[in-house]
Structure formats: C-alpha cells, structure tokens
C-alpha cells in the first residue's frame, strides 16, 4: 500500500500524516513524492521522490503513471489547483494501473478553479456567496471596498484590497483576468471536508483562520458550528466532490458567505488531522477497499494551531538527483 503525493513542495506535515496512516497498527507502505524541484522540503522527508514536469507540460500524467507502476502506488493525492483538472481527466488511466485518485471530477475542478463561476453557481443554488463581478459587469455604483484577485489562481498571488475608485481603476488593469468581489469584513473560516467516491461527506471540520500568511492559515482553531457544518453539506449537494475539499467563507452576523472553494487539501489540514479527523487515514482505508462510514462532528473543538518554520540541511549532491529516485531520509547530511 504505497501513496503518491504530487507537488510535494512544503507539504511535510501531509507527507508525515500519510506515513502515519500507512504504518498504523503495524501496516506497511511508502509515501512517494513527485515534484519539479529537488530542493523542495517534502522531497527529503518522503520515503522516495521523483522529479516530474510541470502539470502544464506534456508528459505530466504519463510521468505520474510511470511512478504508479514502478512504485506500486494504490493512492494518488494531487495537491495544487493547477493540476487538478489535468489529473482528474486521467482517473480511468490511474485506475487501470491500480491507483485510486483522491480528487474530484474535471468538471468540479474547472468550476471551483474559476472563482467567478463558482460563486455564481453557489448563488444560483441558494447558497450565500460573495457578490462577484468581472470588470465589464461591475455596477456603476459598486461598494466602496472591494477585493480583487485572478479569476483562476491560487494562494494570495495577485490578490489585493481595493479601498477607493483610484485603486479600482488601477487594479482592474493590473491584475490579469480578474474577478472582483465584495469585501467581506468578518471573521474568516475554512471548512475542511472529505467526501467518498459517491460524493457523500465523511468528515467536516470548520476552522477559524486567525492569522494568514501568503494565503495559508498560520494560526487558527477548530470550531464546532452547526451552521458551518450544514453549509458544507449543502455545498456537497450543489457540487459533486470526491476526496478532500476546503470551503473558504466569512461569517457575517452569524451567516457564512463563501468566497472560494478548493477541491484539494488545505494548507491548514494539519490542524484538522490533529483534532482527530484523520483524512489521510480515511483515504488509505478507502484505497485498501475498506468501507468508511461518515463521522460528522467527530473532532476536537477549540484546538489551536500555531505554526513555525523549520529547515532541512542538505549537501549539494542531494539536490542534483535526476530523476529523484534515491530514498531520502537524510537530515544534516546523515543517512
């Protein structure tokens, strides 16, 4: 039972969580990471790592399939927005080599990656979402404070607060293909959710994001909220998901308004796992063919996370592996 995590990058806690899930109760298995960069931290904590092309380049899916065959991968976990639609279109190809894909359909990936279309879809389904416009559809008297970001993008890259008309005129031309949203000045939450192959929610964990750095939760806490858990269930009924998804919203006078949905693991997933909602363990069980029953509400509320940076120190030769096929459990130059 081996797991492949794509775009490993800084996702060291996620690699560790899958390792723990594989080896629990005496189980066996390897966590394999695919990445474009030999210096990525996750490469050097995984059991094995491979260099692959960017997901936008020809041969990306073929490279992942080759890894699945050579490493006997049973579970593939894509982690970045850019690759979700590409990998999802190859679901049957992964299945043909015995690997379950922990990702939603290409249609769901395309919808959620388009932040404008996603909010319009939610609103049409009766779910409160941030009012969103394209520059050409912005009303003549828009709200004074707005938020602009790339219509298709990830993290906080290209995202800006607009506080007046002058800034609005500048950023609507500065940001390429932007979506403009009302600024939701209220506490921010992410709802981590895991769905099975039929789109049924298995676990839902709301988290308040108290400090955010580069679009990723740096500090926060789990929250027991019937309102947010019900919202996640309604979203799952409006959009078919498979595997992990995170829903971002802000709470206005007790009512949540969604501004973004990402059908992948969130950056704050370590807090959800620490709170007892072990999404990696559930996915491993599903990949093994085991039945996984819903466990909604089964997590520790008011558990806080505060993150910090750490480092891995490597001799230069460890950064020149091509492909990255050497087992990598070397810290401070010691094998």
pLDDT in tens, 276-293: 999 999 999 999 999 999
Would residue 298 count as lying in a domain?
A: no
Would residue 110 count as lying in a domain?
A: no
Would residue 188 count as lying in a domain?
A: no
Task: Clarify whether residues 141 and 83 are in a common domain.
Answer: no
Q: Are the C-beta atoms of residues 325 and 48 closer than 8 Å to each other?
A: yes
pLDDT in tens, 149-162: 999 977 677 899 99
| Residues above pLDDT 70, as percent of the chain | 94
Tokens of 295: 């466990």
Would residue 291 count as lying in a domain?
A: no
CA–CA separation, 112 and 319 (whole Å): 35
Q: Are the C-beta atoms of residues 221 and 305 closer than 8 Å to each other?
A: yes
CATH number at residue 58: 3.40.50.20
Reduced to 3 states (helix: H, G, I; strand: E, B; else coil), residue 111 is: helix
pLDDT at 237: 98
CATH number at residue 178: 3.30.1490
Task: Clarify whether residues 87 and 6 are in a common domain.
Answer: yes
Centre a 10 Å sphere on the Cβ of residue 24 and count the other Cβ atoms it contains: 11
Nearest CA to 324 out of 67, 48, 69 is that of 48
Tokens of 256: 């949540």
Q: Taking 60 as the threshold, does the pLDDT of residue 35 lie above it?
A: yes
Structurally, how many domains does the chain consist of? 2
- Number of alpha helices (DSSP H) and beta strands (DSSP E) in the chain: 10, 15
pLDDT in tens, 46-102: 999 999 999 999 899 999 999 999 999 999 999 999 999 999 999 999 999 999 999
Domain that holds residue 31: 2-103+310-319
Would residue 189 count as lying in a domain?
A: no
pLDDT at 328: 46
Would residue 213 count as lying in a domain?
A: no
- Residue 260 β-bridge partners: 248
Between residues 316 and 166, which one has the greater pLDDT? 166
Would residue 98 count as lying in a domain?
A: yes
Task: Clarify whether residues 88 and 139 are in a common domain.
Answer: no
Task: Clarify whether residues 143 and 86 are in a common domain.
Answer: no
Question: What is the pTM (predicted TM-score) of this model?
Answer: 0.91
pLDDT at 329: 40
pLDDT in tens, 40-51: 999 999 999 999
Task: Clarify whether residues 84 and 142 are in a common domain.
Answer: no
CA–CA separation, 132 and 196 (whole Å): 30
Q: Taking 60 as the threshold, does the pLDDT of residue 332 lie above it?
A: no
């Amino acid at each position: 039972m081996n797991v492949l995590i794509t775009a490993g990058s800084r996702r060291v806690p996620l690699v560790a969580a899958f390792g723990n899930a594989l080896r629990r109760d005496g189980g066996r298995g390897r966590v394999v990471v695919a990445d474009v960069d030999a210096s990525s931290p996750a490469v050097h904590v995984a059991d094995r790592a491979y260099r692959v092309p960017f997901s936008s380049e020809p041969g990306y899916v073929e490279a992942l399939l080759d890894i699945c065959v050579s490493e006997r991968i049973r579970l593939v976990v894509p982690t970045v927005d850019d690759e979700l639609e590409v990998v999802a279109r190859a679901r049957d190809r992964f299945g043909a080599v015995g690997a379950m894909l922990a990702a939603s359909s290409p249609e769901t990936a395309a919808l959620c990656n388009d932040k404008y279309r996603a909010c319009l879809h939610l609103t049409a389904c009766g779910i409160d979402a941030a009012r969103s416009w394209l520059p050409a559809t912005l009303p003549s008297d828009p709200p004074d404070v707005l938020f602009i970001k790339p219509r298709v993008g990830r993290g906080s890259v290209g995202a800006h607060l607009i506080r007046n008309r002058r800034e609005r005129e500048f950023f609507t031309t500065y940001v390429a293909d932007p979506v403009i949203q009302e600024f939701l000045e209220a506490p921010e939450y992410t709802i981590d959710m895991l769905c099975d192959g039929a789109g049924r929610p298995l676990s839902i964990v709301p988290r308040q994001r108290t400090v955010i750095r580069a679009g990723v939760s740096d500090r926060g806490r789990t929250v027991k909220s019937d309102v947010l858990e019900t919202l996640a269930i309604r979203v799952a009924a409006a959009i078919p998901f498979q595997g992990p998804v995170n829903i971002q919203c802000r709470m206005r006078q007790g009512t949540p308004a969604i501004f973004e949905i990402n059908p992948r693991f969130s950056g704050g997933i370590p807090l959800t796992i620490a709170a007892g909602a072990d999404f990696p363990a559930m996915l491993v069980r599903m990949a093994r063919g085991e039945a996984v029953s819903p466990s909604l509400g089964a997590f520790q509320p008011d558990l806080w996370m505060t993150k910090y940076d750490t480092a891995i120190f490597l001799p230069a030769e460890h950064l020149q592996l091509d492909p990255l096929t050497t087992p990598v459990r070397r810290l401070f130059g010691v094998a």
